[in-house]
Chain A
């Protein structure tokens, strides 16, 4: 763990928060007959896969529509940033036409990734409704009018802070932290 970092979500809190998010989803989506859960590549997929697994366990429903969306080719900082854009796998083998879609990402910050995701999503059809779930909402830092529908925790950060989420699926212990300069 880097020196200037502060844990904001510990290992044992992960399952509590994810359980709550799942029950909120069930409250709104019932049997998930017309709902698709879509994780955002590359980092949102860990939360999305965990949410899907818990939903399967809680609702005894193994047929929830699930996909993973890659936004590399839709980003608005193309030709503007210094970071190398490397695409991840796009795994959506269904159309979202008339479906209720729940987009899942780990951290919501400026909202630009979500805007790109909305662009990418409509290439798979016209969804009936799109909702957003995030594990961590960095509030008061949006560049676009985008807000989450389901939030794990809300944090206040400065613009030069970094918020990082580590997952045991990615060979790290479950943890979320703020790293300051």
Chain B
């Protein structure tokens, strides 16, 4: 009897015991954008395709000089900012950072922050000097 039904029984036992654990798997706590209700594209689209958009924009900007704001990495941080207790935006070195929230959860490591700044620009750059 035990020999015959032991294994399925064990599986059922394990599954029922495991179900609550599965349901309780924590979802990433995604920080809310500081302004606006709508991202540059649908939220679902962004979740699936932000990397494609960023990669396109990256090549367009560096190689062809296209600097439209919409899909630029810099533009993400005008809204997606997480501030620390002192009201300062946290960098990607902080696990609370917008990108980190999901990327840590999904265990996907990105290579952006070796070179790029992960916080909004401190202020608008000077508009001194005009091309002849």
Partners in one complex: no
User: What residues make up the interface of A, taking CB atoms closer than 8 Å to B?
Assistant: none
User: What residues make up the interface of B, taking CB atoms closer than 8 Å to A?
Assistant: none
